[in-house]
Structure 1
């Protein structure tokens, strides 16, 4: 399994791209606004993908131990549903 990380904000260090969406089997976003931005920017591609909203507030710094712990608990459960 391979993963990529990208942001939806114009200020993101690495913004999500059309290539990312074509590469992905599943998308996981922290908040509904992230999903909405992806759908607005790439409506045709987003329609083809399963996008999980994790309902984790986007208020953590990168690799924050608390965020890593939350993701470690939530993400495997969602992947096993596929």
Structure 2
């Protein structure tokens, strides 16, 4: 089982879409979280410890992740997908981006 974690700012649109897209894939367990104080599900050190691969949407998320959770992420694979904050939850184009980008890292 590969544990993948999707991170964005508020855990409302992009990261929950990533989680939903990969939640039913065989051999994959998916979670999502946000970095902002008002995130739907706020990122915790336990989430990071659980994850085999962490996917962030933007470089700013990677920086914030490293600043706030440096001790937990230093030995983790963190991948920036470069997905801007312009999509709705389960937007068809966003789903296609996830399906095109994520599998090559699994």
TM-score, normalised relative to structure 2:
0.70
- Cα deviation code 1:8-56 (max 9, x no counterpart): 1222211111110010011001100111111111111110111000111
Q: Superposition pairs for residues 2-81 of structure 1, below 5 Å?
A: 2-79=29-106
Greater relative contact order, per chain length (Cα 8 Å cut-off, separation 6+): 2
The 3-state SS of whatever aligns with 1:35 is: helix
- Relative to its length, the structure with more helix (as a share) is 1
**Aligned equivalents of 1:66 and 1:11: distance in 2?**
26
RMSD value, Cα: 1.0
Which is worse superposed, 58-67 or 42-51? 58-67
Q: For this pair of structures, how many residues does the alignment match?
A: 79
More deviation, 56-65/19-28? 56-65
Q: Which runs of 5 or more residues in structure 1 are unaligned?
A: none
Equivalent-residue separation in structure 2 for 1:46 and 1:58 (angstroms):
23
